Amino acid sequence: MRIERVELWHIRLPLAHPFETSFGRQEKRDAIIVKLFSQGMVGYGETASMAGPWYSYETIETCWHLQRDFLIPMMLGREVESAAQLIDLFAPVRGHNMAKTGLEEAFWDLSARQEGVSLAETLGGTRDEIECGVSIGIQATPSDLLKRTEAFLAEGYRRVKIKIKPGWDLSVVREVRRVFPHIRLMVDANSAYTLDDADLFTALDEYHLLMIEQPLGYDDIVDHARLQSQIQTPLCLDESIHTPDHARQALDLESCRIINIKPGRVGGLYRAKQIHDLCQERGAPVWCGGMLETGIGRAHNVALASLPNFQLPGDISASKRYYEQDLVWPPFEITSEGMMAVPRGPGIGVEVDEERLEKVTVRKLEFPQE
C-alpha cells in the first residue's frame, strides 16, 4: 500500500482510578493515537508512552518529535507492503520503540482491514477469547488493597498482580495470601530493588507467587540471572527486554523464565510476534503486558494475546477498569469467568468513537503538512 496520509492525535484521558507504581502516581493518561490512510481506508495505532521518562526513557514529547521529524518522513508517500518492510524503513532510528509502535500498529490495522480479516487472524492468533488479569497499583493501606483485590476477583479476573516497592512488599503479600490462599498472585517491582535485597525475594518464595516481575535494574539481565539462581519463584522480565536479541540473551543467561511482551516496549507487533515465537521454541511462556492503553492499544494487545504461547493471563483488563468512557465501541468487557472475546471484525475489530477522540484531543498534526 502507498502511505498517503498520517495523522497524530495527542489525547488525554482521566483514569477511573489513580495508578501508583514504584516510579510514581498517575491520574490521567496521555497517548498519541495514530491514523494511517491509504486508498480511502484508515488504520489506527496507539503510542502508549508515559508522559514522563519513568517507565522507559521515552515520553509523549519524544515520541511526538520522533514521529514528526524522523519516522513519518521515512514512510510518507512510500509503497510499503509488509510490517517487516516498515520495520526496515525505521531501522536507522535507534531505540524509540514506543514512537515506532503507534505507526506500526496503524499499518497492521490498515493492512488487515484492506484484506477484510481480523488483526488476530493476520497475526496468527489461535484463540477466540483470552484470559484476563488485573494489575493493582500501590494503595493507601493494606486494607484498601484487600478490598480492591476482592472486588476484581468478584468481577472474574483470573490473576492478580500487585505492585510492590520498598516498604510495600513482604507484609502486603503475606496479607493478601492469607486472605486469598489459592488465587494466582504475582508482584511487579518496576525495578525498585537491587541484589542487596535478595533476602526479600528468598522470603517471597514461601507465598507461591506465579512470578516476580522486574525486581532489579530496568536495563539489567545479569543481576536478574544471579537472583533467579537463588530463588524458586520464576522471574519475569518487562523493562529489560526491548528486542528479540534481548529475549534470547535473557533466556540463555536464565535471567528469567517468563517474558512480559508489550508491543510498545519492543517496537510493535512484528517484533512482539518474533519474541513470542522465540519463547515458544525455548519453552518459555509469555503474557501480554499493558500500559493503561485506551481501547485502541488494548485492541492490538488483545489480538496479540490470541497467539498460542500467550499461556498466562495478561494485564489486559476491561475498559471500565481504566476509563469511564473508552475511545472504542463496544468497550472491552470480561465475562464472569474472567475471559475477554477477541474481536472478529476486520482489523482491530472495534469502532473508534471519533466524537470522543476529538473531545479528548490536546493537539493534532497531519502529514503531508499543508
Q: CB nearer to ligand OSB: give 122 or 260.
A: 260
Is position 49 an interface residue for ligand OSB (rule: CB under 6 A)? Answer: no
User: Which member of 35, 163, 165, 273 is catalytic?
Assistant: 163
Q: What is the dihedral sign for C-alpha 214, 94, 265, 245?
A: negative
Active site residue 359: no
Q: What is the DSSP letter of 79?
A: B
Among 188, 220, 293, 326, binds Mg ion (CB under 5 A): 188
Q: Which residue has the cell 498519541?
A: 32
Among 112, 291, 318, 339, binds ligand OSB (CB under 6 A): 291
Backbone angles phi and psi of 91, in degrees to 5: -55, -35
Contact in structure between 111 and 2 (CB atoms under 8 Å): no
What mask of x and - would describe binding to ligand OSB in positions 312 to 331, judged by CB under 6 A?
A: ---x-x--------------
Indicate whether 238 belongs to the interface with ligand OSB (CB under 6 A). Answer: yes
CB of 236 to ligand OSB, least distance (A): 10
Over 292-318, what HEC string results?
CCCHHHHHHHHHHCCCCCECCCECCCC
291 binds, among ligand OSB, Mg ion, none (CB under 5 to 8 A by kind): ligand OSB
- Does an H or E element contain 254, and which? none
Q: Does 188 bind ligand OSB (CB under 6 A)?
A: yes
Q: In the complex, what is the shortest distance from the CB of residue 33 to ligand OSB, in angstroms, rounded to a whole number?
A: 16
Catalytic-residue membership of 163: yes
Tell whether residue 293 is a contact of Mg ion (CB under 5 A).
no
- Given a contact cutoff of 8 angstroms between Cβ atoms, the answer to whether 105 and 45 are in contact is yes
Q: Which residue lies nearer to ligand OSB by CB, 159 or 356? A: 159
DSSP letters for 177-216: HHH-TTS-EEEE-TT---GGGHHHHHHHGGG--S-EE--S
- Residues binding ligand OSB (CB under 6 A): 55, 135, 188, 190, 238, 289-292, 315, 317
Q: Which residues are catalytic?
A: 163, 262
